[in-house]
Amino acid sequence: MWFFDILILSFCYGFIYYFWKLISYYLQIFKIPKSSFNGSLEKVLKFINGDTKFLFEQVFSSLKVNGLTRSWVGPFVFINIIHPEDMKIIFTSKNCLDKPNFVKKYLKLRNGLVFGDIKPWKSHRKILNYHFGLQSVQSMIPMFNKKVKILIDNFEKMVGKKEFDIFYFVAAATLDNILTLMGLDLDIQNKDEKQRDVFIQDVKCYTEIVLLRVMKIWLYFDFFFDRSYLGKKHKEAKSSIGDKLVKNVMKNIQEIPKSEKNFIQALMDPKYNLKDTEIYDEIFTIIIAAQDTSAVALSNVLLLLAMHKNVQNKVFDELRKIIGNEIDYLDLEKLNELDYLEMVINEAMRILPVIPLFFKKNETNLTTNEGYTIPAGSNLFISVYSMHRSKNVWGEDAETFKPERFEKENFEKIHPYAFIPFSKGSRMCLGYRYAMALMKIQLANIIMKYEVDTSLKLDELEFKLNVTLNIVQGHMISLNKRDL
Ligand code: HEM
């Protein structure tokens, strides 16, 4: 009999303990100011309807408050991080490396770096860090130089025509580069438009559905999601990327000489003892992490250059001065001399951050800059867009495109955690060196050859929230050949 008494007592104790923890958690959470994101019936309807433009406006209008706030997104409560000092606390903490559970559950890439569990992350990141260093980037420069010529040839067909959305051209170029980086040269840029766009749409669709799932609360449960239209589309996109790209990368890698060891070969090295599923998830993750981001980044810079002719002329002058009349080949040394171009890229990633928002989770209580406690286990919104446009951080002209902010003496005055297009700390973007080198080579080649123009204005752009920042109007640009 005493056995049952102990059992009941333990159960009661467990229940009270759990309940008490839950109450203390929410008591801490409710001390944090509420954001205006919590809404009326009309807002709720727009939200569950999956209106990602509305979501963008809501998330970032409320987050422009220059301090910590909390908001509910579907069944999840989020703590919105905006202040550079809070960013510093989070990015330097060993207890903020994990991602919220819904990210891992919805992306279904549990063994991959960006969306996976912390245990595989630690070992995979250690293996990969070496292969994403300066030396590896150096070895990829010839390939980047070769592939950009195809992009230029494809642009040639559009010269003198009316404005068109450059995104698909650019996205094909970045995917082509990324797959070749993995040892698989599918020559995607030379495929016909329909075939080319299928690859790109699959990647977009895969991440977009994850966001829609967050908004459509009833799809939280796999049982409903798997049977829904979105669930089926997500599965289709996953198998399409998996069959056409990931499996091909894995098969093809066997034929590449070991002396050309790239990072996929490193992951496959028997000494690391990784399972096929882990390698599969990692390749899938890197395609997702690299493809859309690099394409959006380059498209944004081109759009901003088209909007700001004075800046475009300065980029062109710098290219002429450092490179001469024509680009044959750009090596890393030359790329490093293109200071103004780098400032332009940085300013573009500040004002149009490629990933406007990303997620983290804290494993222990955190005390913020303003003295609030963020209880352990909270989901954190790292609100890049809000911080990058904050007047408190960047000054009254924060909404103006002004590359000179990144001149050494100006940038030194800005908080070191105020500019985070590639994140910061030990989970900072693995591929940022690749991304920067590729972007510089692409931009230098494009701007040397063409003058870009657009009728779009920066302050009239509308945005949709996806994993990357989506411009509703598209990246509409026209091209004219330069007279050299
Ligand atoms: C301009 C282009 C790019 C931008 C703006 C960008 C931005 C970012 C950001 C903000 C994160 C952190 C995301 C998070 O914590 O949820 C990240 C992570 C990551 N990125 Fe990039 N990225 C770019 C290109 C690339 C490329 C080219 C690659 C690979 C070749 C890459 C691979 C990764 C990986 C593997 C991670 C996960 C790192 C980790 O959690 O340890 N990215 N990137």
Give phi and psi for 110, each to the nearest 5: -65, -20
Instruction: Give the integer Cα–Cα distance in Å for 220 and 197.
Output: 30
Instruction: Give the integer Cα–Cα distance in Å for 378 and 452.
Output: 45
Q: What is the mean pLDDT of residues 350-358?
A: 96
Q: Residue 64 pLDDT more than 70?
A: no
Give phi and psi for 34, each to the nearest 5: -80, 140
Contact 351/2 with Cβ under 8 angstroms? Answer: no
CB atoms within 10 A of CB 472: 11
Instruction: Give the integer Cα–Cα distance in Å for 112 and 114.
Output: 6
User: Is residue 429 marked as binding?
Assistant: yes
Region of residue 88 (phi > 0: left; psi between -120 and 50: alpha; otherwise: beta): alpha
Give phi and psi for 462, each to the nearest 5: -115, 150
Which protein residues are within 6 Å of ligand 1, measured from CB? Answer: 113-114, 125, 178, 286, 289-290, 293-294, 297, 354-355, 358, 421-423, 427, 429-431, 434-435
Q: What is the pLDDT of residues 309-328, one digit of tens each?
A: 999 999 999 999 999 888 88
Vertex 203, ends 207 and 240: CA angle to 5°?
A: 115
Q: How far is the CA of 431 from the centre of ligand 1 (A)?
A: 6
Q: Residue 269 pLDDT more than 70?
A: yes
Q: Residue 470 pLDDT more than 70?
A: yes
**Amino acid identity, position 364:** T
| H/E stretch holding 81 | strand 76-81
Tell me the chain's radius of gyration from C-alpha atoms. 24
The pTM for the full model equals: 0.93
Closest Cα to atom 36 of ligand 1? 429
3-state SS assignment for residue 409: helix
Vertex 383, ends 381 and 386: CA angle to 5°?
A: 150
Closest Cα to atom 41 of ligand 1? 427
Q: Which two tokens stand for residue 313?
A: 């002329």
Q: Residue 61 pLDDT more than 90?
A: no
| Atom from ligand 1 closest to the CA of residue 121 | 41
Distances (CA, A) of 160 to 128, 155, 449, 451: 44, 10, 13, 10
| H/E stretch holding 379 | strand 379-383
Q: What is the mean pLDDT of the chain?
A: 90
Q: Residue 416's pLDDT is what?
A: 97
Classify residue 154 as exposed, middle or buried by CB count within 10 Å of its CB (0-12, 13-18, 19+): middle
Instruction: Tell me which of 293, 300, 362, 424 to substitute to probe ligand 1's pocket, judged by most ligand atoms within 8 Å of the beta carbon.
Output: 293
Closest Cα to atom 27 of ligand 1? 290
Q: What is the mean pLDDT of residues 428-448?
A: 97
Closest Cα to atom 39 of ligand 1? 427
Instruction: Tell me which of 360, 429, 439, 441 to substitute to probe ligand 1's pocket, judged by most ligand atoms within 8 Å of the beta carbon.
Output: 429
Q: How far is the CA of 289 from the centre of ligand 1 (A)?
A: 5
Q: Which two tokens stand for residue 82?
A: 């905006």
Instruction: Give the integer Cα–Cα distance in Å for 33 and 17.
Output: 27
Q: Residue 2's pLDDT is what?
A: 67
Q: What is the mean pLDDT of residues 453-471?
A: 95
Q: Residue 37's pLDDT is what?
A: 67
Structural domains present in the chain: 41-481 (1.10.630.10)
Q: Residue 195 pLDDT more than 90?
A: no
Closest Cα to atom 24 of ligand 1? 290
Q: How far is the CA of 285 from the centre of ligand 1 (A)?
A: 10
Q: How many residues does the chain have?
A: 484
Closest Cα to atom 19 of ligand 1? 429
Q: Residue 375 pLDDT more than 70?
A: yes
Q: Residue 75 pLDDT more than 80?
A: no
Closest Cα to atom 9 of ligand 1? 422
Q: How far is the CA of 249 from the centre of ligand 1 (A)?
A: 20
**Amino acid identity, position 446:** I
